[in-house]
Amino acid sequence: MGSIEQLQTAPQVFWHTGAVTAHERLQQLGQQAATVWLTGLSGAGKSTLAYALERRLCSEGRLAYVLDGDNLRHHLNSDLGFTSRDRRENIRRSAEVARLLNDAGLIVICAFISPLRSDRALARTIIGADNFIETYVSTACNVCEERDPKGLYQKARAGLIPEFTGISAPYEVPLEPALALDTEQLSIEQACTQLRQHLAPRLR
């Protein structure tokens, strides 16, 4: 596969502008598209929160969809490993999917560890700053490790998982997230409510 630059500049590839505008989709769906980008350590509660928010929005008649990092690695990103290069490509592809779903008018909820600020900045650039809602699920590492729902911290401590975020690889805390939610202090319901309130201006 060629590089991102090659794909963008290939002379035989042309951009075709659609006939339906974002404003028309807003009028039709009664919602302004957005990507809620949940970032935080493994076990912080990102996926649980993402699906809770999706359920709440859908129960209100909204169009919402979750992109979960683990789920995408079963299909779209199944060819990627966990090197820095592969992790960046994982974020790039996932952000492109979120952008397409935003173009269709959906509210997208992304659950990705996405530990590096540079990778999250890439996602923001792809999706567009106006639609990108960086949300830091700020649950402390020791709490996530105590939960360890997938047994990953135990494996990382045993040396079975190299470059594990929070143990043997760094997590870069967002500098100016739109929201910070600590699921040790907040129930999933409370965190979901805060996110729903943040989205309120986008919903008619």
Catalytic positions: 114
Strand partners, 179: 135
With CA atoms as reference, report the closest residue to 25 among 63, 54, 67, 66.
63
Phi-psi region of 34 (alpha: psi -120 to 50; beta: other; left: phi over 0): beta
Angle between helices 188-199 and 46-59 in degrees, nearest 10: 60
DSSP state of 20: S
1 in Cβ contact with 100 (< 8 Å): no
With CA atoms as reference, report the closest residue to 49 among 203, 204, 200, 180.
180
Phi-psi region of 40 (alpha: psi -120 to 50; beta: other; left: phi over 0): left
CA distances (Å), origin 132, targets 6, 38, 64, 108, 152: 26, 10, 15, 10, 29
